[in-house]
């Protein structure tokens, strides 16, 4: 079973920041938080991952709480193309093991 | 670089018929995964290969599903006979060898093959 809890759906206005929360209260010390998204009719796509420090790349920012029990994915300026299901996954970094997906959060970006 | 290729994109069959899906991973990726995604749910692993060996097939319904990865490159997933509950998207993913590539171990997914069983 997935080790994360996410809200089933969220809305965001185009151009505004989208903040997607994730709870992972049972995360282990060697597990990273990964975020993937799945646009309609496509396979999941990697977004970002982190251990305990905040991370930023060209797609998004990841904020992890100090106790590592929750995190927030931030899309700073959401566009219509960001409408997708976002999955938060905990996984041992570098592991060749599979990703265990939950149901994710369906983000709808509205004009 | 070219992505993960899958075919066919869509397939409609009747129950008890057979079907096969093909996957060509990204060149050089040692690990290959097959996932099943039922409508409204997240993907679920069916089988994982490391080169041409099976790493994990614990969730593969072996009475009807089979998969192979000959020569450690492309792979086929077969369902025979199909049931109504097999209607889903079958996703193939690959990942590079972490030690040699220095990558994060992230998975790269294909667009999937959508199966409808009538």
Q: Per residue in B21-68, pLDDT tens?
A: 999 999 989 899 999 999 999 999 999 999 889 999 999 999 999 999
B 4-63 residues with CB < 8 A to A:
4, 31, 33, 35, 40-45, 48, 50, 55-56
Task: Give Rg (Cα) of chain B.
Answer: 14
Closest partner residue to B56 among A46, A98, A99, by Cβ? A98
Average pLDDT over residues A14-40: 94
User: Which residues, in sequence order, are CB contacts of A67 under 8 Å at separation 6+?
Assistant: none
Residue with tokens 């790269």: B108
Nearest Cβ partner of B50 from A44, A96, A101? Answer: A96
- Share of residues in chain B with pLDDT > 70 (%): 92
Nearest of B104, B9, B34 to residue A36 by alpha carbon = B104
Identify all chain A residues contacting B38, using CB atoms and an 8 Å cutoff. Answer: none
The residue whose two tokens read 């496509």 is A42
- Judge whether residue A95 has pLDDT over 80: no
For chains A and B, what is the number of CB pairs under 8 angstroms?
Answer: 59
> What's chain A look like in SS3?
CCCCECCCEEEEECCCCEEEEEECCCCCCCEEEEEEEECCCCCCEEEEEECCCCEECCCCEEEECCCCCEEEEEECCCCHHHCEEEEEEEEECCCCCCCCCCCCEEEEEEC
CB contact under 8 A, A46 and B31: no
Q: Which positions in chain B touch A98 (Cβ < 8 Å)?
A: 33, 35, 45, 48, 56
Task: State residue B12's pLDDT score.
Answer: 98
Whether the CB-CB separation of A31 and A6 falls below 8 Å is answered with: no
Nearest CA in chain B to A94: B105
Cα separation, A46 vs A49, whole angstroms: 9
Q: Tokens 């199966």 — which residue?
A: B115
Residue A8 CA to residue A106 CA, distance in Å, equals: 6
Residue A45 has a pLDDT of: 95
Residue (of A43, A16, A21) closest to A33 by Cα position: A21
Contact A37, A44 (CB under 8 A): yes
Of A96, A97, A104, the CB nearest to B42: A104
Q: Is A40 on the interface with B (CB under 8 A)?
A: no
Q: Would you state the pLDDT for residue B1?
A: 67
Q: Which chain B residue has the Cα nearest residue A87? A: B42
Q: How confident is the model at residue B100 (pLDDT cuts 50, 70, 90)?
A: very low
Residue whose tokens read 């409808």: B116
Minimal Cα–Cα distance from A103 to chain B, Å? 5
Determine whether the interchain pair B104/A94 forms a contact, defined as Cβ–Cβ distance below 8 Å.
yes
The pLDDT value given to residue B102: 45
pLDDT at residue A30 in the model: 85
Residue B102 zone, left/alpha/beta (φ > 0; ψ -120 to 50; rest): left
């Amino acid at each position: 079973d997935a080790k994360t809890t996410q809200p089933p759906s969220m809305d965001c206005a185009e151009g505004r920041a989208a903040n997607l929360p994730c709870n992972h209260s049972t995360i282990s010390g060697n597990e990273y938080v990964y975020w993937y998204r799945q646009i309609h009719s496509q396979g999941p796509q990697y977004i970002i991952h982190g251990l305990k420090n905040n991370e930023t790349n060209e797609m998004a920012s990841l904020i992890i709480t100090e106790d590592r029990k929750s995190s927030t994915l931030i899309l700073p300026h959401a566009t219509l193309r960001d409408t997708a299901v976002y999955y938060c996954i905990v996984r041992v970094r570098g592991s060749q093991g599979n990703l265990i997906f939950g149901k994710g959060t369906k983000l709808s970006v509205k004009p | 670089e070219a992505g993960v290729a899958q075919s066919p994109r869509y397939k409609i069959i009747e129950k008890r018929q057979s079907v096969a899906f093909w996957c060509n991973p990204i060149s050089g990726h040692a690990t290959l995964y097959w996932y099943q995604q039922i409508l409204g749910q997240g993907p679920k692993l069916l089988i994982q290969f490391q080169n041409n060996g099976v790493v994990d097939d614990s969730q593969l319904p072996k009475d009807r599903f089979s998969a192979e990865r000959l020569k450690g490159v492309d792979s086929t997933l077969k369902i025979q006979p199909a049931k109504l509950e097999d209607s889903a998207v079958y996703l193939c993913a690959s990942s590079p060898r972490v030690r040699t590539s220095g990558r994060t171990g992230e998975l790269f997914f294909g667009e999937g093959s959508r199966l409808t069983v009538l």
